[in-house]
Structure 1
Amino acid sequence: MCALRSHWRRLWLKVFASASPVVTDSGLVEGVEEGGGRVFKGIPFAAPPLGDLRWRAPAAPASWEGVRAADAFSPVCMQRGMYPQDAPPESMNEDCLYLNIWTPDLNMWTPGGASSSRLPVMVWIPGGGLENGSASTPLYHGDGLSRRGVIVVTANYRLGAFGFLAHPALSEESANAVSGNYGLLDQLAALGWVKRNISAFGGDPQNITVFGQSSGAISISVLTASPLARGLFRRAIGQSGGLFEPIEAAPEFNLAGAESAGVAFVERMKAASLAELRAMKAADILAQRFHPQPNIDGYVLTESPHAAYANGRMNDVDLLVGSNEHEGLPFLADRRVTAANLDDELAQDFPSFIVALLGPKTAADDSEARAAFIAFESDMRFGWDVWTWARLHAASAHSSTYFYRFTHTPPGEAGASHGAEMIYAFDHLDQKPLAWTDVDRRIARTLADYWTNFAKRGDPNGAGLPQWPEYSLSDERALVIGEEIGAAAIPNASSLRSIDRLYWVVRVLLEYWRCLAGGAALIVLMLVWRKTRRPSKQSSIAR
């Protein structure tokens, strides 16, 4: 053990020595010491997507001479505020395709039982509805995880119209005859960069875990179904997000439908050509509202994630997924839900027939109505996706599957809302000035241990942690993370199964009408299904 520890220390001193820049395939980089660890900020993984590179697949970054000081975060990608009243970020630019790397603190981390000289790597894909988000958000800083013996990478990707605009003219100029999934291609480029370069930072290119929350998790569900991502990562963590609805029925999720939406967008921009569109100021493009979605283009995504998993064509990686008890809380904001208007309020977000079939039947009082509203929004928008992801993976994959349910309410908050688990999973309670308790600190330590253990070996369990059983179709238990942590039956299983039956019917009808009933009936079903995905005023939180 002493010899092994000495070997680790010699390896890491090479990386940490301030006089020893790290060699990447574009040039030398030198990071900064923070808290005893070393951070490399603002490393380009692709060329700036400016001018003629706007709405193209990411190109390789230019090489540089000398040593690049990796001591400052890059601007965030072009984006609006999360809410209409929010101001956009101050440091914002189309030139945003950069990543950040956190390496461990030798004084706080002692290797034990390792047989490799390389550390596991965790790559974070930020959420924000594919419209917002940044790799440099303080909550996502990787020091809380890296001190546990992993390397943490966070990466930007293009958002909104810059990352997801499809158009026939863009598809025509593409070598693969596709357009619209540029943000996903950025994510793939970042993962490719990590795969090629992370060994120079002490990381193991054969042990990469990709993790993300909300639309970051949705992106990961797409990546696990994409043939382009095969071999780029070994494990995946999806927090409160996935794309497993019957998206085949929604025009905007297919290339032709995405192109049609893009044509309408370009018409609103009053651009006569791609050259004219590419010459427009980024701020003018950002000012025109655009709702980004991945699309099944036959290249990045050859089929829906549900179909890829159901047919065993997904990338077989270890999987850890879950959601929070009160994901729907943000959708309650600025709405007065009562026992008398519960159905009407839900019908603003979902078709009336779905509310009638699956919605809460009665509410004794306004408080119960609000709780029912939150539960329904939570299960429809988030809970079913992650549960279905776990079930499909457990049925088709040879790799491990773990499922969780986060129920802990942070101090002063109304519940375990969307995103509540992140500050615990990153072990970053210092990022929010709440009256944290010993229970909160214990949960943060436990989640960060689970997440990093999973990244190391595909199993979150470890010494001193409550046992987390592997999820299977014959043992559908979740790790319930509350004031007490332990395995239990999935609390909302009945609701999830009801939603699943509805989606099963949709898929059966889709297949039947596609084969027998002709295009008109299929169009009707598409329109009905599109209505089920109608965004609310809080839609940027949902995705």
Structure 2
Amino acid sequence: MSCSKKTIDIVKVKGGLVQGTKESSITVFKGISFAAPPVGDLRWKAPQPVAEWEGVKKTTVFAASPYQGGNPPAGKSEDCLYLNVWTPAKSSKEKLPVLVWIYGGGFSFGSTAEPVCTGEHLAKKGVVVVSIAYRVGKLGFLAHPELSAENPNKVSGNYGLLDQIAGLQWVKNNIAAFGGDPKKVTIFGESAGGISVSMLCASPLAKGLFRGAISESGGSFGPTRPTTYPGENMKTLQQAEASGNEFLQKAGVSSIAELRKLKAEDLPSEPGMGGAWPIIDGYVIPDDQYKLYKEGNYNDVAVLIGYNSDEGASFSRERTPEEYIANVRQRFGKFADTLIKAYPVGENRVPRTARNLMRDAAFGWHTWTWARLQSQTGKSNVFLYYFDQHPNLQKDSPRNDLGSPHGQEIPYVFMTLDKDNPRTTETDLKLSDIISSYWTNFAKYGDPNRQGLPRWPAFTGESEQLMYLNADPHASPVPDEKSLHVLDAYFKWRFTQEGRLWAK
């Protein structure tokens, strides 16, 4: 911190001095390096310490986003391990709570430079906001026997998660200089970011790096499966290494040394979300998260977790009832008939009742299960939510049953709704203020509740209540709970020996 001005403008961090910019009442630092560039021989290795620099580094623009398909904000590069800080603190002595954002994108895309996720507005509510980058796609999650052999822990494949942990270690060691309190760190993320939050809560490597966790449309409580589905995305190290061998064959090389010599743009492209996902490696992620939570073997911190009412609108691909039934039978086997009854399809269309199977299989069951297991085996508070804010469409509209799709809550959280959009209502803006207050209160106190807000009850074994976030926020029982119990029977079976063998 600059001693002459007694304000946060030039800050000393690990590596050297950085200088940010004033934006209204907030000081912003963009593109602070928290690890060495993971390039050359460091490709597919755990993040390494940052090199020191001389002089004052201007941190006024976002660093490049991680290398990925498409064209993310700020461009893309393998040299991507940077973070950003928004602080309302006037001095380093304020010890403000810290919110650390982890972006989503299916572990194949993502950027800290997305305008919708600026930390400015949350910071104005009295918290320091940090957003950290991590490697995505095969550059972040390639497992291979050679990579495991060269690793001191004999594992590979979770480099993106190790980047997140390195970012959190940086926060612990440096955030006090920005007026933040390293003992009051809360991580939050959406989609792959919310899943990452879930995994960090289960990772011994992240122990002590945060005291609270917010997961939006996240959770990772499904079993491993060689052929993955949303909600059953995890693979074992052995399964992931086999996929890594196939990746080398596609690249036309026979060794990791040769693969490291290829330019990022010459690596094989992968279908869908890029074929990248964290794995159960026994080190970063020790075991099935469901098992870890049943045994009480996780980082027991307060959590605020939830999902959106119509996640299936973003992921369901079935166009006809026949296609829906066929896909349910293929994925769920002997549980298909009971699930089709619990999540019924229409005579000639696939309505929201059917789309909700995708919602719950990918997000709802995981979040609900997280809340139930932690309330049983943990000591920290659990707060569950259900986001359902959307326009009411005409009854004759083909999408009159449309709810809140995947990711819709993000601008409400960051207070970045487009105020000039005619579809943005005063109710939307009011709900955004309420939600952002819940999130920042949770960072400050480990509890979203404070005077002036609708009361949000903790989720307990005796009272499985959640906060229904819509135009009229209120406490409510878990929606579609009967259907969730039917899906729960499937997942419990999948964890049995019979269920694991069937999935092969």
- So what's the TM-score if we normalise by structure 1? 0.85
Instruction: Assess if the C-alpha contact under 8 Å between 1:479 and 1:487 holds in 2.
Output: yes
CA contact (8 A) 1:79 1:286 kept: no
Residue segments in structure 1 that go unaligned for 5+ positions in a row: 1-9, 82-86, 107-115, 514-520, 528-543
Residue in structure 1 matched with residue 96 of structure 2 by the alignment: 119
Counterpart residue number, 1:168: 145
CA distance in 1, matches of 2:28, 2:248: 41
Matched with 2:440 is 452
CA distance in 2, matches of 1:12, 1:225: 44
Change (3 A) 1:429 1:393: same
Residue 425 of structure 1: which of 403, 413, 431 is its match?
413
Judged with a 3 Å threshold, the aligned counterparts in structure 2 of structure 1 residues 431 and 80 are, in CA distance, closer, same or farther, namely farther
> What is the aligned partner in structure 1 of residue 359 from structure 2?
378
Stretches (4+) displaced over 6 A: 10-13, 248-251
The structure-2 alpha-carbon separation of the partners of 1:326 and 1:12, relative to structure 1 and needing over 3 Å to count, comes to farther
Q: Cα distance 1:133–1:429, how it changes in 2: closer, same or farther (>3 A)?
A: same
5 Å-filtered alignment, 1:10-89, equals 14-16=6-8, 18=9, 21-81=10-70
Letter in 2 for 1:139: V
**More displaced stretch, 301-310 vs 58-67:** 301-310
* Aligned pair partner of 1:227 in 178, 200, 204: 204
Matched, 1:273 2:255: yes
Change (3 A) 1:13 1:373: farther
- Deviation string 1:469-515 (CA, Å, 9 cap, x unpaired) is 111011001100111111011111111111112212222x32xx6xx
Is contact 1:478-1:489 (8 Å) kept? yes
CA distance in 1, matches of 2:73, 2:266: 16
Matching of residues 120-269 of structure 1 within 5 Å: 120-247=97-224, 253-269=235-251
Contact 1:211 1:236 in 2 (8 A): yes
TM-aligned CA deviation for residue 248 of structure 1: 7.4
* Closer, same or farther: CA 227–381 of 1 in aligned 2, 3 Å: same
Q: What SS does the aligned partner of 2:22 have?
A: strand
In the alignment, the residues of structure 2 paired with residue 411 and residue 39 of structure 1 have an alpha-carbon distance, to the nearest angstrom, of 39
Q: Give SS of 2:475's match.
A: strand
Question: How much has 1:468 moved relative to structure 2?
Answer: 0.3
Deviation per CA, 1:427-474: give whole Å up to 9, x if none: 111388352111101100000000000011110001110000111011
How many residues are paired up?
487
The CA deviation at 1:285 is 1.3
Deviation at 1:318, TM superposition (A): 0.6
| Structure 2 spans left out of the alignment, 5+ residues | 229-233, 394-398
Q: Is this contact kept in 2: 1:410–1:440, CA < 8 A? A: no
* 2:275 maps to 1:287: no
| Offset at residue 227 of structure 1 (A) | 0.6
Alignment check: 8 A CA contact 2:248 2:255 kept: no
1:492 and 2:480 are equivalent in the alignment: yes
- Alignment of 1:526 with 2:503, yes or no, is yes
The equivalent of 1:327 in structure 2 is: 311
CA gap of 1:505–1:342, structure 2 versus 1, over 3 A, is closer
1:341-490 map, 5 Å: 342-344=324-326, 346=328, 350-351=331-332, 353-360=334-341, 362-363=344-345, 365-366=347-348, 369-409=350-390, 414-430=402-418, 433-490=421-478
Cα distance, 1:202–1:345 mapped onto 2, change above 3 Å: same
For 2:100 and 2:392, the matched residues in 1 are separated by 29
Task: Give 1 or 2: higher helix fraction.
Answer: 1
1:363–1:296 CA distance, 2 compared to 1 (3 A)? closer
Question: Does the 8 A contact of 2:63 with 2:74 survive in 1?
Answer: no
Cα distance in structure 2, aligned partners of 1:288 and 1:99: 27
Matched, 1:337 2:320: yes
Q: Give, as a single letter, the amino acid of the residue that structure 2 aligns with 1:213.
A: E
Deviations 1:404-449 (A, max 9, x none): 0111115889431101111101111138835211110110000000
Give secondary structure in 2 for the equivalent of 1:464: coil
Deviations 1:198-238 (A, max 9, x none): 00000000010000011111111111111100000000001
Amino acid at match of 1:208: V
Q: Deviation per CA, 1:275-329: give whole Å up to 9, x if none.
A: 2110101001153444112122121111121111111110011111011100110
SS of the residue 2:6 aligns to: helix
Deviation at 1:249?
7.8
Q: Per-residue displacement from partner, 1:177-201 (whole Å, max 9, x unpaired)? A: 1110000000000000000000000
**Residues 233-277 of structure 1 deviation map (CA, whole Å, 9 limit, x = unaligned):** 000001111110122787962111111110111111111222211
Question: Match of 2:94, SS?
Answer: coil
Paired residues of 2:251 and 2:268 also in contact (CA < 8 A): no
Cα contact 1:105–1:147 (8 A) shared by 2: no
The range that moved more, 413-422 or 461-470, is: 413-422
How far apart, in 2, do the equivalents of 1:453 and 1:176 lie?
39
Cα distance in 2, alignment partners of residues 238 and 47 from structure 1: 28
Match of 1:506 in 2: 494
Check the 8 A contact 2:35/2:48 in 1, yes or no: yes
Letter in 2 for 1:142: G
Give the partner amino acid of 2:235. Answer: F
* CA pair 233-434 structure 1, distance change in 2 beyond 3 A: farther
2:191 and 2:216 in contact (8 A); partners too: yes
Provide closer, same or farther for how the CA distance between residues 200 and 182 of structure 1 changes in structure 2, counting only shifts above 3 A: same
